[in-house]
Chains A and B, each alone.
Chain A
Amino acid sequence: KAGVTQTPRYLIKTRGQQVTLSCSPISGHRSVSWYQQTPGQGLQFLFEYFSETQRNKGNFPGRFSGRQFSNSRSEMNVSTLELGDSALYLCASSLGRGHQETQYFGPGTRLLVL
């Protein structure tokens, strides 16, 4: 099976712009979770989507949003970018049916905000 894919792999934006990141889960997986990784804060949970519905949300401002499509692909959007949004954004997929499931991560999108 193909793994989790994320596009683009690298992005450079300027403050105030918006950005959309894409994640394609492993075939058959219906849950997609997003995480932000920074040297200062570590890995922080953004949100999780399951069957096109947001099921769980972390403590991020409303500038961070996401959605999931009927084929389980997911996008996250960050509006009005700030310098502090520079990070590696990771998505992870799982079947989404139980606590014992493993989340499988994509390679990440590295966002640099100038």
Chain B
Amino acid sequence: AQSVAQPEDQVNVAEGNPLTVKCTYSVSGNPYLFWYVQYPNRGLQFLLKYITGDNLVKGSYGFEAEFNKSQTSFHLKKPSALVSDSALYFCAVRDGNRGSTLGRLYFGRGTQLTVWP
């Protein structure tokens, strides 16, 4: 079975400090991993994805994520947080070895990030 866990419902950081939003996953085949962000009353915006290759993936708005196969993790990071980064963040996974899941993403429950001035 495919699943994603985001162990923290909320993450609070001060502006200018580094931030980390955690994600662990479970798939039987090759993991394709994604991060999305959702602002209030909006849809999901794509931030970055890991398909293969370099374990450190860089994405939009200065975000990056580190893939760790042994720990089955894909944590989202940013060196210096901004107040405007405050939003709901979702991690998602797709199993690359299962054809039946081609059009489907499995999402975590989301982590509310609050950056205070």
Residue from the list B46, B96, B109 in contact with A102, Cβ < 8 A: B46
Distance between A86 CB and nearest chain B CB, rounded to angstroms: 15
Chain A residues near B110 (CB, 8 Å)? 42-43
Q: What are 16 A-B interface contacts by the 8 Å CB criterion? A: A4-B43, A35-B107, A42-B110, A43-B90, A48-B103, A55-B102, A56-B101, A56-B103, A98-B102, A100-B51, A100-B96, A102-B49, A103-B34, A103-B46, A103-B105, A107-B43
The one of B32, B36, B104, B109 in contact with A33, judged by C-beta atoms closer than 8 angstroms, is: B104
Indicate with 1 or 0, residue by residue over A47-62, a CB within 8 angstroms of chain B CB atoms.
Answer: 0111000011010000
- Counting chain B residues whose Cβ lies within 8 A of the other chain, the interface size class is 20 to 34
**Chain A's nearest CB lies how many Å from the CB of B67?**
14
Partner of B103, one of A43, A96, A107, A108: A96
A56 near B100: Cβ-Cβ < 8 Å: yes
Cβ of B22 < 8 Å from any Cβ of A? Answer: no
Given A33-B103, A33-B104, A50-B103, A108-B42 contact (CB < 8 Å) = yes
- The residues of A with any CB-CB pair to B shorter than 8 Å are 4, 6, 31, 33, 35, 42-43, 45, 48-50, 55-56, 58, 90, 92, 94, 96, 98-100, 102-108, 110
Instruction: Give B44's nearest chain A residue, CB to CB.
Output: A105
Partner of A94, one of B36, B103, B109: B103
How distant is the Cα of A70 from the Cα of B45 in the complex, in angstroms?
26
Q: Please, how many angstroms separate the alpha-carbon atoms of A31 and B41 in the complex? A: 24
- CB pair B104–A104 under 8 Å, yes or no, is no
Residues of B within 8 A of A (CB): 30, 32, 34, 36, 41-46, 49, 51, 90, 94-96, 100-110
Q: Which residue of A lies closest to B99 (CB)?
A: A99
> Shortest CB–CB separation between residue B75 and chain A, in angstroms?
19
* Beta-carbon contact of A55 and B103 below 8 Å: yes
Contact at A99–B45, with CB atoms within 8 Å?
no
B33 CB to nearest A CB, Å: 11
Specify which chain B residues have a CB less than 8 angstroms from the CB of A102 in the assembled complex.
Answer: 34, 46, 49
Q: Are A42 and B107 in contact (CB under 8 A)?
A: yes
